[in-house]
Structure 1
Amino acid sequence: MKVVRAKHAGACYGVQRALDLALKSVADGGRAYTLGPLIHNPQVVEKLSDQGVTEVSAIEDAERGSSVVIRSHGVTPQVMRAVAAAGNTVVDATCPHVARAQKAAADMARRLGSVVVVGEAGHPEVEGIVACARESTERVYAVTSPAEVPADIEAPVGVVVQTTQQKDKLDEIVSHLRALGIEPEVKNTICFATSQRQDAAADLSEQVDAIVVIGGRNSSNTTRLFDICAAQCERTFHIESAAELDESWFSGVGAVGVTAGASTPEDQIAEVVARLERM
């Protein structure tokens, strides 16, 4: 069975930067904390815990005076201020692309008064972007479909987008606003690395008999890669580690593709590829 790896796959710059900052914060043998998982990859989060970087759910659970690493998805401005007020050292590992989306949302909120965030309500990245805009206005809406856009929304309106969304989702919302007679100010804050991975996964899924998508099941960008691949290739499998691979999945398969979400480090991809090559 031939194993073909996607041209673009695996950990992006923002994720690698977050990992480097977290490990640097415990380089002298100390302990550090993250509010929620640093990245959406359970295996990596567990490994970080073994190295002294502990995930907590509340600021008060972090030892006072310790380093608190802000996860790659970012946090709300209120949480950022609260960490500093609690006497902790803030290590800001927010992905630069997420920070750009936060800044764009805040700017639009100040100037325009209404902001539409194209993204999944409740996702930590979207929560942070929405909260940045709500520092200036309450008219901030997280949506993933035209039906979720308030019918009484009025111009002027700004639009930003979750960094891991697909471009067609953004286009769909913008077209809907224009149909309402609103010409929105749009900031396409989709991460280029996300687009690269999605395009490469789509191309590969058309060329193979089966495809394996590696990444956390709590990772929205990995889930989107799975959806993209499944639309083209019936035998698409989402796994978090090589241990989940089942040889029966690949019966009669001549070529299998491998792709991975932006929170998946190289060693996890290499392990999956090696196991597939042994089949």
Structure 2
Amino acid sequence: MEVKIAKDAGFCFGVKRAMKMAWNELEKSENGIFALGPLIHNKQAVSKYEERGLKTVEQVEVIPSNKSMIIRSHGVGESVYSEAKEKSINVIDTTCPFVKKIHNIVKEYNDKNYKIIVIGDMKHPEVIGINGWCNNNAIIIKTLEQMNEIIFDNSKKYCVVAQTTINLTLYNNIVDKLSKEIENIEFYNTICSATKVRQQSAKELALDVDCMIVIGGRHSSNTQKLVDICKEVVPTIAIETKLELNEEELRKYKVVGVTAGASTPDWIISEVIEFLELI
């Protein structure tokens, strides 16, 4: 079997930065540190950090006063910082700079009385955090079909941002429709360059192989988008680790391509590649 690896795969800048910051803080801490939500959408990586003393919680209110709290790379809403300050919690902010840029745009335009539109998944932590910078009043659009249910007010001004991991084609299609329906609107394409590059790299590789293997967490948005992109081209297998691979199933393919989401550690990718090269 020939194994080909996507040119761009695995940890992106934002995740790599967050993981390094978190690990450095854990090494300095004697009593452990709290993380507000899973550090990244990869349970294998998070487990390693929890073994070192990381405690994952879902709400600021359960964190004792004067403790340290990590804000993950997905970012959080403005109110979380206020809650932490009230409890004298030391905030270790690993929010991805690209996500922080979206927060700043949303806050600026919300303060100028623009209605905020976020192109993304309302259940994703990044989008929940973005919405928290405009008093949770954003219009959130995930599909073109959703737009048929929304009535826009042309007496208002609108500002559009995007979840960093949203599919570029979907973003462009929604932007095209919005520009036809709303008179006073400003667009900010805030899709992360790493996301665009990974999606393009995965698509190019999929065209050159018999099967694609996409490695990443089940709850990782950018990983699932890579799966969708590859599936449009070639048979695609989505896994979290090498343990999910079926050797007999893979033997029918001569050339297999491998890519991974932005929250997939290098060691997990290496294990998968080593497994495939032995088939």
Q: Distance in 1 between matches of 2:101 and 2:164?
A: 9
- Contiguous gaps of at least 5 residues in structure 1: none
CA displacement at 1:183 relative to structure 2: 4.8
CA displacement at 1:148 relative to structure 2: 2.7
TM-score, normalised with respect to structure 1 = 0.94
Q: Distance in 2 between matches of 1:211 and 1:47?
A: 28
- Contiguous gaps of at least 5 residues in structure 2: none
Q: Distance in 2 between matches of 1:60 and 1:108?
A: 30
Q: Distance in 2 between matches of 1:101 and 1:110?
A: 14
The 5-angstrom pairing of residues 43-54 of structure 1 reads 43-54=44-55
Contact 2:152-2:181 at 8 Å conserved across structures: no
Find the counterpart in structure 1 of residue 128 from structure 2: 127
TM-score, normalised with respect to structure 2 = 0.94
Contact 1:41-1:219 at 8 Å conserved across structures: yes
Find the counterpart in structure 1 of residue 19 from structure 2: 19
Q: Which of structure 1's runs of 4+ aligned residues deviate more than 4 A?
A: none
Contact 1:105-1:115 at 8 Å conserved across structures: yes
Q: Distance in 2 between matches of 1:97 and 1:5?
A: 26
Find the counterpart in structure 1 of residue 171 from structure 2: 170
CA displacement at 1:39 relative to structure 2: 0.7
Inter-CA distance 181–161: structure 2 relative to 1 (3 Å threshold): closer
CA displacement at 1:28 relative to structure 2: 2.5
CA displacement at 1:181 relative to structure 2: 4.4
The 5-angstrom pairing of residues 115-264 of structure 1 reads 115-134=116-135, 138=137, 140-149=138-147, 150-154=150-154, 155-234=156-235, 236-264=236-264
Q: Which amino acid aligns with 2:122?
A: A
Contact 2:159-2:186 at 8 Å conserved across structures: yes
Deviations 1:185-211 (CA, angstroms, capped at 9, x unpaired): 111100000111000000001100111
CA displacement at 1:215 relative to structure 2: 0.5
CA displacement at 1:79 relative to structure 2: 1.2
CA displacement at 1:70 relative to structure 2: 0.1
Q: Distance in 1 between matches of 2:27 and 2:90?
A: 15
Contact 1:112-1:158 at 8 Å conserved across structures: no
Q: Distance in 2 between matches of 1:248 and 1:183?
A: 57
RMSD: 1.4
Residue range with higher mean Cα deviation, 163-172 or 190-199: 163-172
